Amino acid sequence: MNALPAWLPVTSTMEKMYAFQQQLASNNATLSTHQGEDDAPYHPDILFIGCIDARLDLERLGITPERSLIRRTIAALVPHYKKDHPEQDFSETIEHALSRGVKHIIVMGHTQCGGLDACFHGVPKHLQRVADHLRIIDESPLIDAQAKHAIDALEPASIHVSLDNLRSYPGIKEAEAKGQLTLHGLLANTKTYDIQEYDEASNALKKMRLIKKPGDTSVMVSDFISLMKQEPPCAQRLENPDIHEPELLMITGIDTHINPTSLHIEYGKALIYRGFDPCAARRTDEKAALEFAIEVKRVKDVVLMLPKGSEEKLRQGIENLQHNHTVQQALAKKEIQLHGWIVDPSTHRIAALDPATKQFMPLGKTS
């Protein structure tokens, strides 16, 4: 008997992923054609900060893996810098991004954001961790009664808060002053998939400018933005009524070696949290993401995914997650399943952690 899968593919999302893994397992030709991909140079020049929302299919929007780092957190909110604050990992993310020579930081909010909506209407009492995270909004001096008067005022205001908070981190203002770094604020409309640009001078959202001239440092960002506009497959898929019923929460790091598209995770089915050290499970925003996914969105599966070579880290990460309050309660009530997966970025093959033996077993392996 094959010991795996330790989990049952109870949701259609899991079933499709499992089928894809089986297909890969029985097709060695596919494996060999993909080999060597992870040797491709990885030169991120964008740090992209987006919401965990399942409709934001960032990876399909022109963000190529070798060009970006992606951080995803509820409502794309960046906290104000606090020195030696282990509950936050934004300073590590930013330090890492600057050391990698990132030239653009993009904060992308979106319409119909569950996080901002909770902020606007008041966070239900039982969602303590979500409330802790959303305090970023209330603690900002930029938020006044007017910003909280209507959701369409709060959307640009939240981007303003994140951009302003970004400048509180060491190195950001200096890099901006030297012309080495540009900050951008965008708002994606999840119905039409139009993107608006936040204009700091007028504190308002404006139609996107597409700048394309040689030597313009914005060219690269414009390329990315025009890709977003050229390829609006999301707009059509959004018409599918089932689209916003995420079934799983994917937790992974900020580098893009792992992306849901290459793993055949269906569009709209996965909330995605990306953190600098997702295995620590001690960050305010990761706790909030877990609470939001499990208690509000009622996802069935929580999957911690790391690239090949991080096996030991993943074992520890799963243990840490098991001690997370929200996860612990949901596991006890058998409402979720917790998975630890090691992904080989060059073959897209997944090895799943067997919780009993602590060993990794390939998914989809035929016995």
Footprint of Zn ion (CB under 5 A): 51, 53, 113, 115
Which residues have a Cβ under 8 Å from the Cβ of 113 and sit 6 or more positions away? 51, 53, 75, 155
Nearer to Zn ion, 56 or 363 (CB): 56
Q: At what angle do helices 311-322 and 325-332 cross, to 10 degrees?
A: 80
- 174: its two tokens: 């200096």
Nearer to Zn ion, 115 or 340 (CB): 115
Nearer to Zn ion, 53 or 155 (CB): 53
Which residues have a Cβ under 8 Å from the Cβ of 178 and sit 6 or more positions away? none
Which H or E run contains 211? none
Question: Can you tell me the distance from the alpha carbon of 220 to that of 22, in angstroms, rounded to the nearest whole number?
Answer: 38
Partners of residue 48 on adjacent β-strands: 70, 106
Nearer to Zn ion, 24 or 76 (CB): 76
Nearer to Zn ion, 113 or 205 (CB): 113
Nearer to Zn ion, 50 or 253 (CB): 50
**Nearest distance in Å: CB 83, Zn ion:** 28
DSSP E strand stretches across 178-229: 182-188, 195-199, 204-207
**Nearest distance in Å: CB 51, Zn ion:** 3
Nearer to Zn ion, 115 or 275 (CB): 115
DSSP E strand stretches across 40-150: 46-50, 68-72, 104-110
**Nearest distance in Å: CB 319, Zn ion:** 29
- Alpha helix (H) residue ranges in the chain: 12-25, 28-34, 90-99, 114-121, 128-139, 151-166, 172-177, 219-230, 233-237, 284-291, 311-322, 325-332
Which residues have a Cβ under 8 Å from the Cβ of 229 and sit 6 or more positions away? 195, 208
**Nearest distance in Å: CB 112, Zn ion:** 8
Nearer to Zn ion, 18 or 273 (CB): 273
Nearer to Zn ion, 289 or 303 (CB): 289
Q: What are phi and psi of 149, to 5 degrees?
A: -75, -35
Which residues have a Cβ under 8 Å from the Cβ of 41 and sit 6 or more positions away? 66
**Nearest distance in Å: CB 109, Zn ion:** 7
Judged by DSSP in three states, 149 sits in coil
Q: What are phi and psi of 104, to 5 degrees?
A: -135, 140
Instruction: Report whether the peptide linkage leading into residue 5 is cis, meaning its omega lies within 30 degrees of zero.
Output: yes
Contact between 45 and 67 (Cβ < 8 Å): yes
**Nearest distance in Å: CB 247, Zn ion:** 17
Nearer to Zn ion, 113 or 254 (CB): 113
**Nearest distance in Å: CB 59, Zn ion:** 17
**Nearest distance in Å: CB 188, Zn ion:** 10
**Nearest distance in Å: CB 298, Zn ion:** 17
Whole-number Cα distances in Å, 322 to 249, 339, 359: 15, 11, 17
**Nearest distance in Å: CB 176, Zn ion:** 26
